[in-house]
């Protein structure tokens, strides 16, 4: 039960961090918002970023307590001042939790005080990047010692940031596509932004694959039978299968559904059918991404194949 709760905290923390980094990043480079959108129309963005920051803050606190309880043997022992102090200052997961909580508070203040616009996007992107990077000190990447440990840690951080950039963008597109049917200008903005995201998505995928290979070399090696025989390896294989499904859906969007929507917008034909097909595909890709995060949450608590 304790492990399930800790895995849930990790999942919600990863999700919040991905939104806090990847969603405003898309708003900066992808420009998915129609120029005719009013401040009232964009309230959902502030709500999304606030909810993401709150998720990071709450899970940083609860996850820290749950992890400390696991190490101490009980909640009562974990809540003793000596245990809390040792976990918070002497252990990587404690310092990582402190960083996330502090920057999540800054993000909440920013979403409260700053108006919708580039200042808010830049602030949340920067804070989200720091929060995402902090997860590397909570996982296996920080356990490798020596100079190669720096390479492993760097690979872990770039892997997390690229994945967050992809997933955070998917969340924005999903919300925009399930909202009431956009007008012609909004549809054109979404289509153009999806085309921009296709290019950025290619870069994200390349980084994910390259950094994933680096991390795999440290954690599981290249002995396929041995990998498949362990629980960690089986979760990793499941994660890779879901990642492959995400790639397939992304490729379908880029080469089939987005061009179909663009053609419909340029012609006299109604874009409704093209928009519906794209909506279903984006939502499916987002759900698969959530499944990947669930597996990643569990993987972080398992022993790797090699140490």
Report the CATH number at residue 212: 1.20.1630
What is the tally of structural domains in the chain? 1
Residue 146 pLDDT more than 60?
no
As a whole-number percent, the residues of the chain with pLDDT over 90 amount to 45
**CA neighbor of 17 nearest in space, from 100, 93, 95:** 100
Does some domain include residue 305? Answer: no
**CA neighbor of 224 nearest in space, from 214, 237, 240, 235:** 237
Helix (H) or strand (E) holding 146: none
Minimum mean pLDDT range among 37-46, 93-102, 199-208? 37-46
- Pairwise CA distance, residues 275 & 63, whole Å: 40
Does some domain include residue 42? Answer: yes
Looking at residue 21, its pLDDT comes to: 97
Mean pLDDT of the chain: 85
Does some domain include residue 124? Answer: yes
Residue 33 pLDDT more than 90?
no
Is-contact 144 152, C-beta < 8 A? yes
Looking at residue 203, its pLDDT comes to: 92
Q: Is 194 exposed, middle or buried (0-12, 13-18, 19+ CB in 10 A)?
A: buried
Does some domain include residue 306? Answer: no
Residue 173 pLDDT more than 90?
yes
Looking at residue 151, its pLDDT comes to: 78
Does some domain include residue 240? Answer: yes
Average pLDDT over residues 254-272: 84
For residue 256, give its domain range: 2-299
Radius of gyration of the chain (CA): 20
Average pLDDT over residues 257-268: 85
pLDDT tier at 198 (50, 70, 90 boundaries)?
confident
Looking at residue 179, its pLDDT comes to: 75
Does some domain include residue 272? Answer: yes
Average pLDDT over residues 88-117: 90
Q: Is 233 exposed, middle or buried (0-12, 13-18, 19+ CB in 10 A)?
A: buried
């Amino acid at each position: 039960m304790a492990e399930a709760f800790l895995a849930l905290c990790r999942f919600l923390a990863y999700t919040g961090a991905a939104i806090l980094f990847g969603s405003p990043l898309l708003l900066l480079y992808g420009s998915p918002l129609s120029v005719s959108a009013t401040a009232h129309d964009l309230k959902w963005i502030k709500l999304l970023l606030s909810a993401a920051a709150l998720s990071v803050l709450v899970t940083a606190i609860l996850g820290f307590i749950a992890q400390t309880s696991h190490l101490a043997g009980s909640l009562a022992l974990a809540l003793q001042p000596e245990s809390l102090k040792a976990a918070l200052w002497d252990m990587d997961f404690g310092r990582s939790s402190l960083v996330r909580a502090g920057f999540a508070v800054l993000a909440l203040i920013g979403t409260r005080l700053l108006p919708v616009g580039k200042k808010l996007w830049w602030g949340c992107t920067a804070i989200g990047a720091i929060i995402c990077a902090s997860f590397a000190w909570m996982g296996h990447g920080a356990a490798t010692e020596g100079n190669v440990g720096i390479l492993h840690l760097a690979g872990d951080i770039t892997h997390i940031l690229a994945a967050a950039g992809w997933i955070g963008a998917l969340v924005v597109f999903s919300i925009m596509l399930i909202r009431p049917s956009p007008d012609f200008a909004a549809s054109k903005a979404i289509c153009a932004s999806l085309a921009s995201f296709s290019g950025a998505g290619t870069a994200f995928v390349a980084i994910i694959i390259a950094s994933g290979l680096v991390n795999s070399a440290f954690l599981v090696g290249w002995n396929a039978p041995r990998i498949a025989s362990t629980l960690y390896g089986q979760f990793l294989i499941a994660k890779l299968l879901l990642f492959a499904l995400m790639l397939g859906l992304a490729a379908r969007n880029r080469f089939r559904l987005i061009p179909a929507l663009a053609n419909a917008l340029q012609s006299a034909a109604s874009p409704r059918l093209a928009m519906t097909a794209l909506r279903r595909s984006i939502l499916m890709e987002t759900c698969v991404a959530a499944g990947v995060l669930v597996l990643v949450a569990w993987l972080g608590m398992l022993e790797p194949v090699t140490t």
